[in-house]
Structure 1
């Protein structure tokens, strides 16, 4: 998707968040949201400006998720280029761990959704991240956070369960000398009935329909020899997982999952997650004009050659700025099971 972003759309700040101006020096930029959630940009060596590009400096496009903090600088004298890398705001959430309170098995959350999101984020980012005060009208009841997961995984699981997605924006208030990252829970938008990308015109669609996935998972847990805990899980015709075989004979594709010391209940819980990641899937990547999608929004992709339709949420956005000055955003869509 061509979004009309110019190099100078990005702004730089010092480590304290005070603006240093637009980044007209950028030659190329690649910013990933949703997968590695990091960025890499290059400038000519003669354009080096320590105030704009030092460690801890922020780069961002106002009121969007595009942005992050510099933590990696590489100078290439042969090419007379400097490569600057860092984590995006979403990427920073991947490097915080949510632990259960002392003496408890799990962290349990209750309250209005944004308030609960604020409890999860807390003061982990020294005042850089704030959670919106907007009342979502959604009440979280006894939500159990998985043990020792990343903050991003904890937030994503929570919001998904309440049919919401994570919105991230870099905000520049008029009455402050510095900006901040605002995170909030917002409703998932389903564009699948309105928008179906099929590769016509300037749209580029890649659809993959993988049918060689595992459909029988033998889960091995605690115990020894004949006392070993064993759970058999089977993919059903509709993609759900059950205890009765559906695919048999030449259509059966089996694998073993070892989770030492897991009891039957735990083994089944984690075995189902494992099988979900191994079974058949469809994937779709789209590059298209005239769209503004966010991670978590639903869209459809269609390939007329193979007559394959994919309806799934956006899981990744990649912003690319080329040396020519053109900018594109590529969306990657999670595939149907």
Structure 2
């Protein structure tokens, strides 16, 4: 592993971290844990200080120290950069139901991110050439989820790297970049030396009755229907023996948001494909949001899934293991 750096609360570099083990979960728990041997401990590990590996997403801000005199190590823990974005909220403007935004991707990201972080997070100045128009964020969504969902709507993803500076403190560079669909370039199979599990579900629900607020005949009720292409529509396709009905009740969500929540729930219940891959031996560099695909030549089943999380672990000698988790994988 290249240098893992410890910096103070002003992001001034203190030292390279040697002989420490690390576990950093970028996008699920969104935190990191360093194990420092008690004999190597000193007061340079500060609350509000930083760790980072320059040029990568590996890094975050120290927020917790865990010490146990019965153990030989001290745990230094904190949030990843995504974890910090996750702790901010996109609020609707006063008097409005939703926050809406329009413009070039980096311009709108700059408006959302930079005021929250006092120079720590900087959005790229490059023009992506891609815009959103009147994009509506969910009410009080966290900043990370809101931005990822916005970018995904135009087939982009979030890229985060820590940038070193020679004359001033470094910063976290945030960029919007296109999602790479590796499944259209490289077909992974058992011939690649990778094991994976494919689950092709054809007996899911295809008719959802949505029951929202209200009582009895006055209750807000409408219907959603799954179609063979995976879309959700207001008109039915499956009937008779092939129809499978699910009742979704939601009396706590505002009426105008019920359909959005119902569609999200429906997508988890209808016909779908589940794909889990042992990616520990994956010999390619992929980012969160990129798409991997695999085929079982025996059954002919093929499917593709986006990478949802990356976990890095190192031992005290700096040997790194990388685990890629796909969407829907525990």
Give the TM-score taking structure 2 as reference length. Answer: 0.89
1:238-317 to structure 2, matched below 5 A, reads 238-243=229-234, 244=236, 246=238, 249=241, 252=244, 254-260=246-252, 262-263=254-255, 266-279=257-270, 280-285=272-277, 286-304=279-297, 307-317=300-310
Bigger drift between 250-259 and 136-145 goes to 250-259
Q: Aligned in 2, Cα 1:254/1:110: closer, same or farther, shift over 3 Å?
A: closer
Q: Kindly tell me the number of residue pairs found equivalent between the two proteins.
A: 325
1:119 aligns to what? 111
Q: Aligned in 2, Cα 1:284/1:248: closer, same or farther, shift over 3 Å?
A: farther
Counterpart CA distance in 2 for 1:303 and 1:37 is: 33
Q: CA deviation at 1:234?
A: 2.9
1:16-31 to structure 2, matched below 5 A, reads 16-26=10-20, 28-31=21-24
In structure 2, stretches of 5+ residues that fail to align are: none
| Secondary structure in structure 1 of the residue aligned to 2:182 | coil
The question of whether the paired residues in 1 share the 8 Å contact of 2:209 and 2:222 is answered with yes
Counterpart CA distance in 2 for 1:313 and 1:31 is: 20
Counterpart CA distance in 1 for 2:67 and 2:39 is: 11
1:101-116 to structure 2, matched below 5 A, reads 101-116=93-108
192, 197, 203: which is aligned to 1:207?
197
In structure 1, stretches of 5+ residues that fail to align are: none
Q: Deviations over 1:233-285 (max 9, x none)?
A: 2332232223415275487262433234643x543232112212333341323
1:166 aligns to what? 158
The question of whether the paired residues in 1 share the 8 Å contact of 2:122 and 2:173 is answered with yes
Counterpart CA distance in 1 for 2:204 and 2:31 is: 30
Counterpart CA distance in 1 for 2:240 and 2:83 is: 42
1:37 aligns to what? 30
